[in-house]
Chains A and B, each alone.
Chain A
């Protein structure tokens, strides 16, 4: 049989290596193969994922917790004190043989017995030895990797919903489709109705988008704290959505949840308590602390910020329109669906509602500027991934393909995976392009009578050619800025998702 093992001890200079030797000798004597990862002070070479995947069983002979334990999830596991491998290597090998045999005879039960089973092979590639800056990037990138499928699926479904709606309702379709309640689809979905199909696609897309921030936060926390991080991260991310903190709030939730979970899981507790730590204590306390932080600490200042920005914008109404367009553009791109973006968007849609009753040419221009500025971030990044592939990770390049459609459909969130992975360089680039586009749309004087829809509502836009020209300029400028900033700094962070299609996503 083939085994893998991990050995560790408090000091990391003696028992770790003696235990590894003990396991290797015992395995050889019994005619088995084993590769042992010595997590000692001399650094350690992680076992390759293929080696772990090929192992019939895993042996942990440890005095301190195994690092990156999730890598071994789902394999039959024998766990013992590090001294056991020194005093009785053959006994441990015999237990591993028994565990492997049991797993082959009864795969489901054996998996359930493995303590890390629920992580189900989720992986991160966070190098514990790397510098803090590198690890921060790897944490962010892990969250982004797992978020991208939700962005792609949700964004494309919403865009398809708009397209079908345009065909089914005519030129106001992108507006009508959002008004169809979910209950109508449950009780009266008609296979032959284009409108129903459009609403269905839209609703599923919106549901998928609902997971975007929770998954981002959850897997940032997972990268930091391993499995205990998932619950506080996901719940914290969901609360970031509730308090309107957007993806930046989600990143904060991921870090808070991850470090709280990491901290609690390192508490020294009496032996009798250890069993309930991962099941009850860690989830309970980490979720509570993270949730409290998101609602109480982050919620109030965010609300104050949103209120302040909204009244400031209303005060600007009489000012220079081009400046207003540029400011709205900056706000749209600042947090890509977060609180600042929402203030700008709400400002525009509120004006739109008023414009239907009064003569509101300015309000219609504001709406046009806001939508255009919200389209350039994903479009710009899509362009950047197309012309300079090497500056982006594989996951980002694939997201770049979807970002064309998302940007064209005014789904600003399509830029979030890029911004979350590298906020300091991506967000300023997006803001630059969006501000330019917002100002240009105001200058050209295009108006828009729909609150969303992207290029699918082009028939509702006055001066569509100049409008598209303004978007094109913002797109090119965003791409150029991103490429310039990325080329000047470190390259993309590779994640496990890039190295192998190990995770079925």
Chain B
């Protein structure tokens, strides 16, 4: 099991709004068989997003859900050069992390996601993702910083 693969990296995410952007990222999950029901999963993410947009200062959006339609804990990374409004006070998001957790996930899986969430707060982690030249570099950074940390 890996949290992220090269197929789960979208470096040119240029969608008009956060919901279409989320769909693009979620389609990557469905393509890998990590999400069994795309629309069901999107509805779960949307429900969380409607409680309160998940954009945070620093140009980051973290749509996420625990969903019965998810087969394994996964991260999809999206990078947008123009930025997408994610509801944060300080402007649009350029780094998007779609976090998908299975409904009944074991503690170990959830701990990896917890570690990922903590890394998102570190400027060095954000910068290396912002400057990663390709998908392989993104997977490297996440694997080194989160999975093997």
Identify the A interface with B (CB < 8 A). 10-18, 20-22, 25, 38, 40-43, 63, 83, 86-87
- 6 more A-B contacts (CB under 8 A) besides A20-B118, A86-B57? A11-B48, A13-B110, A17-B115, A18-B56, A21-B117, A21-B122
The answer to whether B117 touches A87 (Cβ under 8 A) is no
Q: Can you report 23 residue pairs joining A to B where beta carbons are below 8 Å apart?
A: A11-B64, A11-B65, A12-B66, A13-B66, A13-B101, A13-B110, A13-B113, A13-B117, A14-B54, A14-B64, A14-B113, A14-B117, A15-B54, A17-B115, A18-B56, A18-B117, A21-B118, A40-B110, A42-B107, A42-B110, A42-B113, A42-B114, A87-B56
The answer to whether B120 touches A18 (Cβ under 8 A) is yes
Residues in chain B near residue A63, CB distance under 8 A:
52
Q: Whole-angstrom distance from the CB of B120 to the nearest CB of chain A?
A: 6
Q: Whole-angstrom distance from the CB of A228 to the nearest CB of chain B?
A: 24
Residues in chain A near residue B56, CB distance under 8 A:
18, 83, 86-87
Chain B residue at minimum C-beta to C-beta distance from A87: B57
Chain A residue at minimum C-beta to C-beta distance from B52: A83
B43 at the interface (CB under 8 A from A): no
Give the CA-CA distance A3 to B33 in the complex, in Å: 44
Chain A residue at minimum C-beta to C-beta distance from B118: A21
Cβ-defined partner of B48 (8 Å) among A10, A21, A41, A83: A10
Q: Whole-angstrom distance from the CB of A17 to the nearest CB of chain B?
A: 4
A40-B110, A41-B110, A83-B52 known; A14-B99 Cβ under 8 A = yes
Q: Which residue of A14, A20, A21, A43 has the most chain B CB atoms within 10 A of its CB atom?
A: A14
Residues in chain B near residue A21, CB distance under 8 A:
117-118, 120-122
The answer to whether A38 touches B114 (Cβ under 8 A) is yes
Q: How large is the interface on B (under 10, 10 to 19, 20 to 34, 35 or more residues)?
A: 20 to 34
Q: Whole-angstrom distance from the CB of A8 to the nearest CB of chain B?
A: 13
Give the CA-CA distance A363 to B120 in the complex, in Å: 81
Chain B residue at minimum C-beta to C-beta distance from A22: B121
B62 at the interface (CB under 8 A from A): yes
CB contact list, B49-84 vs A, under 8 A:
51-52, 54, 56-57, 62, 64-66
B7 at the interface (CB under 8 A from A): no
B89 at the interface (CB under 8 A from A): yes
Give the CA-CA distance A21 to B126 in the complex, in Å: 14
Q: Whole-angstrom distance from the CB of A27 to the nearest CB of chain B?
A: 13
Residues in chain B near residue A10, CB distance under 8 A:
48, 51
User: Helix, strand, loop or mixed for chain B's interface?
Assistant: mixed
Chain B residue at minimum C-beta to C-beta distance from A40: B114
The answer to whether A86 touches B121 (Cβ under 8 A) is yes
Chain B residue at minimum C-beta to C-beta distance from A81: B52
Q: Which residue of B56, B62, B111, B121 has the most chain A CB atoms within 10 A of its CB atom?
A: B121
Residues in chain A near residue B52, CB distance under 8 A:
63, 83
Residues in chain B near residue A15, CB distance under 8 A:
54, 117
Give the CA-CA distance A21 to B122 in the complex, in Å: 8
Residues in chain A near residue B118, CB distance under 8 A:
17-18, 20-21
CB contact list, B115-143 vs A, under 8 A:
115, 117-118, 120-122
Residues in chain A near residue B89, CB distance under 8 A:
87
Give the CA-CA distance A10 to B56 in the complex, in Å: 16
Q: Whole-angstrom distance from the CB of A501 to the nearest CB of chain B?
A: 33
Q: Whole-angstrom distance from the CB of A174 to the nearest CB of chain B?
A: 61
Give the CA-CA distance A25 to B123 in the complex, in Å: 11
Give the CA-CA distance A453 to B89 in the complex, in Å: 75
CB contact list, B84-100 vs A, under 8 A:
88-89, 99
Residues in chain B near residue A18, CB distance under 8 A:
56, 62, 117-118, 120-121
Give the CA-CA distance A105 to B115 in the complex, in Å: 39
Give the CA-CA distance A116 to B62 in the complex, in Å: 33
The answer to whether B66 touches A16 (Cβ under 8 A) is no
Residues in chain A near residue B54, CB distance under 8 A:
14-15
Q: Which residue of A25, A40, A83 has the most chain B CB atoms within 10 A of its CB atom?
A: A83
Give the CA-CA distance A86 to B54 in the complex, in Å: 11
Cβ-defined partner of B101 (8 Å) among A38, A41, A83: A41
Give the CA-CA distance A20 to B118 in the complex, in Å: 8
The answer to whether A14 touches B121 (Cβ under 8 A) is no
A83-B56, A87-B56 known; A13-B121 Cβ under 8 A = no
A10-B51, A13-B99, A13-B110 known; A41-B66 Cβ under 8 A = yes
Q: Whole-angstrom distance from the CB of A242 to the nearest CB of chain B?
A: 46
Residues in chain A near residue B99, CB distance under 8 A:
13-14
Give the CA-CA distance A281 to B118 in the complex, in Å: 39
Q: Whole-angstrom distance from the CB of A399 to the nearest CB of chain B?
A: 38
Q: Whole-angstrom distance from the CB of B76 to the nearest CB of chain A?
A: 14
Give the CA-CA distance A12 to B65 in the complex, in Å: 9
